[in-house]
Amino acid sequence: MEEIKLTTTIKVYHYDELSTEERRLTEAAKEATKRSYSPYSHFSVGAAVLLEDGTIVTGTNQENVAYPSGLCAERTALFYANSQYPDLAVKALAIAAGATSSEEVISPCGACRQVMVETENRFQCFLKVLLCGADKVYVAESAADLLPLSFHFPS
C-alpha cells in the first residue's frame, strides 16, 4: 500500500490587514450579493474577479426552478471575465455571501473549484482566492490549494 498525504495552507486575515486592491475586490464581491437571483435558497452569493490590468468583474449566483439549471457566482464571474477579456489573466477571486445569508466564510463548490484550477492552467499563473466572512477573510494563494486532486485531461 502507498499513502499520499496532502496539505494546504490557508491564511486568515482581518479586513484591515488586506492590501488596498484586495479590500476593493472583497467589497465588490459583497456588493455583488445584492444582485443575486436566489428566490429558492435565499442564499445570495457574490464573486469578484481581479484581472491583471486591475479591472474587476463581478458575478452572482443565478438560481432556476429547474435545478440544476442555475449557476454559481464564481463561475458566472469567471466565465464573464474569460469571455469579455480573453487575453487578460485572472489574478484573484473574492467570494462573499449576502449579509442575510451567512456571516461565516463560505467555500466554493467542487465545480467552481475545478473552473478556478482550469483558469490557473489557462493563464499559467496562480489564482489567489479570498473567502470573505463578516470579520475575517480566508486566503488561498492558489486555487489548486482548494482542490489538490483536480481533474486534468490525460496528455
Helix axes 73-84, 110-123, angle to 10 degrees: 20
Report how far residue 148's alpha carbon sits from residue 143's, in angstroms, rounded to the nearest whole number.
9
Catalytic residue positions?
Answer: 74
The per-residue pLDDT for range 89-101, each reduced to its tens digit, is 999 999 999 976 6
Structural domains counted in the chain: 1
Residue 129 lies in a domain: yes
CA end-to-end span of the chain: 26
Threshold 0.85, pTM exceeds: yes
Residue 134 lies in a domain: yes
The per-residue pLDDT for range 44-87, each reduced to its tens digit, is 999 999 999 999 999 999 999 998 899 999 999 999 999 999 99
Sheet of 45-51: strands edge to edge? 11-14, 136-140, 128-132, 90-97, 45-51, 56-60
- What CATH number is attached to the domain comprising 20? 3.40.140.10
Tell me how far the alpha carbon of residue 136 is from its chain's centroid. 16
Indicate the average pLDDT of the chain: 95
